[in-house]
Amino acid sequence: MEDWSSSACNLGILDTLSNDAVQEIVESYNGFCAATETLLCGAGDLSVGSEFVADVQSLCKHGLESLVRDHFLRALEETFEKNGAFKFWRHFEAYGKFSEIGDEEVQEVLCKALEEISMEKQYQEKCLLMLVHALQSYKENISEGRHNSDAERVYLFPKYQLLVSSVLMATLPPHFPEILNWYFKGRLEELSTIMSGELNDDGEIQDKAEISLNEKSKVSYRVGQMEIDECYHQGMLSENNKLVKNIGKVVRDLRSLGFTSMTEDAYASAIFLLLKAKVHELAGDDYRNSVLESIKQWIQAVPLQFLHALLVYLGDSISYDSVSSGLKSPLASRPSSFYPGINTPSEGLVRWKLRLEYFAYETLQDLRIAKLFEIIVDYPDSSPAIEDLKQCLEYTGQHSKLVESFISALRYRLLTAGASTNDILHQYVSTIKALRTIDPAGVFLEAVGEPIRDYLRGRKDTIKCIVTMLTDGTGGNSNLSGNTGDSLLEELNRDEENQENIGLDDDFNTDDKQAWINAQHWEPDPVEADPLKGSRNRRKVDILGMIVGIIGSKDQLVNEYRVMLAEKLLNKSDYDIDTEIRTLELLKIHFGESSMQKCEIMLNDLIDSKRTNTNVKATINQPSQRGAELGDTALPMDILNATIISSNFWPPIQEESLVVPQPVEQLLSDYAKRFNEIKIPRKLLWKKNLGAVKLELQFEDRQVQFTVAPIHAAIIMQFQGQASWTSKNLAAAIGVPIDVLNRRINFWTSKGILAESLGEDSNEHLFTLVEGIVDTSKNGGGNSGSREDILIGDEEGEQSTASVEDQLRKEMTVYEKFIVGMLTNFGSMALDRIHNTLKMFCIADPPYDKTIQQLQSFLSGLVSEEKLELRDGMYFLKK
Amino acid sequence: MGLKNFRSSWWHAVASWTWNAQDETCGICRMAFDGCCPDCKIPGDDCPLIWGSCNHAFHLHCILKWVNSQTSQAHCPMCRREWQFKGS
Ligand SMILES: [Zn+2]
Ligand SMILES: [Zn+2]
Ligand SMILES: [Zn+2]
């Protein structure tokens, strides 16, 4: 018989037993087995109790206690399998793999099933208690009261508890955890709805039936213990709340069945799910408001309240979460540790708060990082979102996530052929401004900026756009969001003044920072430090430095600025240079006075010119006094003004010959003569192709005004005396090469003032003044009154000065043959290899002294001329 | 030909100035006359040229330094003739 096997080791005892004794044992055992059967399956029939006790004690007398215990536990196990577990699981069969479960239904089924199995368990516990009493009273009899009265219970109940859990775990259907999930999710949502009804827009809590308001609820949500204390005091959700009570009961039942950790996992995941949904709902795509506080408030108001109430209901607000709780007997762990008067937050609750907050920070952080590109486009309006992100990252330390995600967004969204250089630059600057909030030392910024800088280096107009952005408040960024026309330099300067006294916070994750520094071989501050700026700027994010870093050296930037400044000054029709002076002052602050020396002289020339101009005109002989031979073609000196430059300090000027109309020529020579008299021994050399002219063209039926370059004036003036010119004759009359004329005369044909036709010789173009008929399609409709076309700087892209690019191209052309030769030999080469080879071999005549950026810019010129090809970072000869 | 009248209401011209000298650079400092001497920042009136009776020109500041550095009678650094300011 199987039942005997457990006492097999006692076989020796059998020899000592008398027949009577054997008889008694057999009878008692049979009686015991029958009574056990009746008890456990007897549906509450405890009437066999006294027989049962007698049999147990009789068996004990023969030393068969362990047989009794083992048999009884085995019988409990079998019965529990049948009456408990089997029936319990049958309730959930219907919800197998088909996921959609009605919330109401789950709640109902779960509660019913738990009730049923708990009753069964309670009944079994009652039976077990009978055995305990029987065994105990036997022992008390033989030991005359010295026996530890609780020993049997302490031994048997944990065994039973283990048995219950083992049976359930062994038969657990795989979808049960999911059902628990569903249940808690539904309850929490219900709870959240109740709570949000109590929270008005300001997050203040209103009084409601089961929820008592405490004035303190309006105060701060500081981090730390106090907060939790407050939430205790508020008692917004008491453990007596009906919903909490129901949930509490379910949790308690589940625990008593041994599902402690599964239950906790289920409500934890429901809480996290709800929290995640809440974060998404609160944060959304709104970047102009901080949401972190509302999220924390919500955590405080809903999940923490719920957990607190639940823990209080379960009575383990303090011992909760201790390692042994899962195995502890539910009878042993009852109320002992809860004292209603003492409001100390449990360790468990503090831990929950930290977990929830970490999760919320991480969720918000991920949400913001995923939209960082848009957020930065919206900067500075989006600074609340940036501020939130900063706090999140300080908490999670996951800065590297930001770097990776943002770089890939940049590559995908910004660094594409379709984006204008200006847009890229503005996004770059916004990125720097936005990220320096998060990363005051600029470490992550360095990594994020690298791909943008690399990309910009490959664009030909980068330097020009940078200079424009830095120095020009009106051009470039044309967004009309009410921004003042401040240049970036102006703005940087203002920021610097504002930030003078603000220290640098240093409290972000130092390990992470160090890791990045190491990983990126980051070197601080690529620009030469300006002695004026001192050491306080050494560790701050240096926006200007990061912009100059794109170009490589400040000299290139200054050089480009000088060319642009020259262009601007030479096209001025007055001497108003206030803006340029201000810009120069700012540039001096950032790049040093000596770098800006030439620009300073250029501006000084304008100031001097104004003075000299007044002086010359005030002291010159009036043309009216010069007699009649000039007649009415003579022009008054009033109309002439001059800018006189110190050409050594200006960028190379594009000199083109030009014959200006005779009356103007007369004025120029009178002016130069007077200058020479005043400034002896200095003299003037006119650059007749430069400057600006305002014209009034009076026709029979209309008057039009233009501000044009001198060559345009020279062209049109010729038509006053002669209505038609061949291009050849006209070019000769104004002293310019015929191709120059053909190019520049387009201005007048495009304005409908001149008409072009083929001459007698078909190579000849004939230009004729358009009179009387107004070509509306070209004039935009207006056929009377006066209109004015401003043509400063020339729409045909003619420049007074050689651009930096042209200068560079001229200087680089020497190397072109060499580069072509290398590529012929090697097939293909990367940029840095070309650069290094040139450095190695071109050491004389002229030595190669260009930066890699200059080389890249030159090569991209060759690519656009289709001499070279660039594929995957390698240059090839174009076949 | 109809009635027409083309005129410029103003003409803003551009010129460069230059010293009316034979040489381009100062024989003392080797800088361009149209630039300025090493001690000056702004060319033109602030750093004028001066001619000697030998017709050699120098930056005023350069020749003054030179003259003052000579213990006895100064000579033109170019032609070694006795230095006299032109016209004096
Ligand atoms: Zn000199
Ligand atoms: Zn000087
Ligand atoms: Zn001399």
- Residue B58: beta bridge partners? B50
3-state secondary structure A356-374: HHHHHHHHHHHHHHHCHHH
Better pLDDT: A629 or A559: A559
Please list every residue in chain B whose beta carbon sits closer than 8 Å to the beta carbon of residue A617.
none
pLDDT in tens, A124-169: 888 888 888 888 888 877 776 666 667 788 888 888 999 999 999 9
Mutation target to probe the A interface, by most A beta carbons within 10 A, among B1, B4, B6 is B6
Question: Mean pLDDT, to the nearest integer, of A256-282?
Answer: 89
Q: Quick one: closest CA in A to B57, which residue? A: A681
Least CB–CB distance from B1: residue in A640, A690, A723: A723
Write down the ipTM of this complex. 0.94
Q: How many angstroms separate the CA atoms of A749 and A775, rounded?
A: 11
Least CB–CB distance from A682: residue in B6, B8, B19: B19
pLDDT in tens, A692-747: 999 998 887 778 889 999 999 999 999 988 889 999 999 999 999 998 998 999 99
Q: Which of residues 680-719 of A touch B (CB under 8 A)?
A: 680-688, 690-700, 705, 710, 713, 716-717, 719
Question: What tokens were used for A747?
Answer: 């201005």
| Ligand 1 midpoint to CA B37 (Å) | 5
Question: What tokens were used for A311?
Answer: 């823990």
Mark yes or no for CB contact A640/B13 under 8 Å: yes
Q: How many angstroms separate the CA atoms of A330 and A156, rounded?
A: 14
**Mean pLDDT over each residue of chain A, to the nearest integer:** 77
Does position A631 have pLDDT exceeding 80, yes or no? no
- Contact between residue A367 and residue A279 where contact means Cβ atoms under 8 Å apart: yes
Distance from CA of A708 to the nearest CA of B (A): 10
Least CB–CB distance from B6: residue in A647, A692, A716: A716
| Ligand 2 midpoint to CA A646 (Å) | 15
| Ligand 3 midpoint to CA B54 (Å) | 4
Distance from CA of A646 to the nearest CA of B (A): 6
Question: Mean pLDDT, to the nearest integer, of A285-310?
Answer: 86
| Residue whose pair of structure tokens reads 């408030």 in the numeric block | A297
pLDDT in tens, A54-69: 888 888 887 788 888 8
Does position A629 have pLDDT exceeding 70, yes or no? no
Mutation target to probe the A interface, by most A beta carbons within 10 A, among B3, B5, B9, B14 is B14
Mark yes or no for CB contact A688/B13 under 8 Å: yes
Does position A786 have pLDDT exceeding 80, yes or no? no
List residues of B whose CB lies inside 8 A of any A CB.
1-21, 32, 34-35, 41-45, 49, 51
- Contact between residue A72 and residue A36 where contact means Cβ atoms under 8 Å apart: yes
Better pLDDT: A202 or A437: A437
Q: Which of A459-468, A728-737, A859-868 has the highest mean pLDDT?
A: A728-737
Mutation target to probe the B interface, by most B beta carbons within 10 A, among A611, A635, A644, A650 is A644
Q: Which of residues 533-592 of A touch B (CB under 8 A)?
A: 570, 572-574
CA nearest A382: which of A437, A451, A423?
A: A437
A92 touches chain B (CB under 8 A): no
Q: How many angstroms separate the CA atoms of A602 and A647, rounded?
A: 9
Taking the alpha carbons at both ends of chain A, their separation in whole angstroms is 97
Please list every residue in chain B whose beta carbon sits closer than 8 Å to the beta carbon of residue A720.
4-6
C-alpha distances in Å from residue A780, one per residue of A335, A774, A783, A787: 92, 10, 9, 11
pLDDT in tens, A765-785: 899 988 765 544 444 433 333
pLDDT at A233: 40
For B61, the enclosing helix (H) or strand (E) is helix B60-69
Question: Mean pLDDT, to the nearest integer, of A233-247?
Answer: 66
Q: How many angstroms separate the CA atoms of A3 and A17, rounded?
A: 19
Mark yes or no for CB contact B14/A642 under 8 Å: yes
Least CB–CB distance from A698: residue in B5, B15, B21: B5
Mark yes or no for CB contact A682/B32 under 8 Å: no
Q: How many angstroms separate the CA atoms of A299 and A276, rounded?
A: 11
Q: Which of A21-30, A134-143, A222-231, A248-257 has the highest mean pLDDT?
A: A248-257
Question: Mean pLDDT, to the nearest integer, of A679-692?
Answer: 92
Mutation target to probe the B interface, by most B beta carbons within 10 A, among A574, A598, A647, A673 is A647
pLDDT at A60: 83
Distance from CA of B35 to the nearest CA of A (A): 6
pTM assigned to the model: 0.65
Q: How many angstroms separate the CA atoms of A786 and B50, rounded?
A: 53
pLDDT in tens, B24-58: 899 999 999 999 899 998 898 889 999 999 999 99
| Residue whose pair of structure tokens reads 């204390």 in the numeric block | A229
Question: What tokens were used for B4?
Answer: 């027409």
DSSP-derived 3-state class of residue A194: helix
Better pLDDT: A627 or A342: A627
Q: Quick one: closest CA in A to B4, which residue? A: A699
User: In A639-713, where do the E strands start and end?
Assistant: 640-645, 682-698, 703-708
Does position B4 have pLDDT exceeding 90, yes or no? no
Q: How many angstroms separate the CA atoms of A335 and A802, rounded?
A: 91
pLDDT at A765: 85
Question: What tokens were used for A414?
Answer: 């910004």
Least CB–CB distance from B4: residue in A642, A692, A698: A698
- Contact between residue A557 and residue A467 where contact means Cβ atoms under 8 Å apart: yes
- Contact between residue A761 and residue A772 where contact means Cβ atoms under 8 Å apart: no
Mark yes or no for CB contact A597/B41 under 8 Å: yes
Distance from CA of B87 to the nearest CA of A (A): 14
Helix axes A399-413 and A347-370, enclosed angle (nearest 10) = 20
Mark yes or no for CB contact A572/B18 under 8 Å: no
| Ligand 3 midpoint to CA A566 (Å) | 37
Q: Please give all residues whose CB falls under 5 A of ion ligand 3, grouped by chain where several chains appear.
A: B 54, 56, 76, 78-79
Please list every residue in chain B whose beta carbon sits closer than 8 Å to the beta carbon of residue A692.
12
Distance from CA of A466 to the nearest CA of B (A): 28
Instruction: State the ligand closest to the CA atom of B40.
Output: 2
| Residue whose pair of structure tokens reads 């059902």 in the numeric block | A179
Least CB–CB distance from B2: residue in A604, A647, A700: A700
A645 touches chain B (CB under 8 A): yes
B72 contact partners, CB below 8 Å, separation of at least 6: none
Distance from CA of B56 to the nearest CA of A (A): 14
A517 touches chain B (CB under 8 A): no
| Residue whose pair of structure tokens reads 């100064």 in the numeric block | B74
DSSP-derived 3-state class of residue A43: coil
Confidence of residue B7 (pLDDT cuts 50, 70, 90): confident
Better pLDDT: A778 or B63: B63
Distance from CA of A720 to the nearest CA of B (A): 6
pLDDT in tens, A503-533: 444 444 445 445 544 444 434 443 433 444 3
What angle (nearest 5°) sits at the alpha carbon of residue A54, between those of residues A51 and A60?
140
Question: Mean pLDDT, to the nearest integer, of A172-189?
Answer: 86
pLDDT at A538: 41
C-alpha distances in Å from residue A390, one per residue of A17, A364, A410, A860, B41: 84, 11, 20, 39, 49
Does position A584 have pLDDT exceeding 80, yes or no? yes
Helix axes A543-551 and A421-438, enclosed angle (nearest 10) = 140
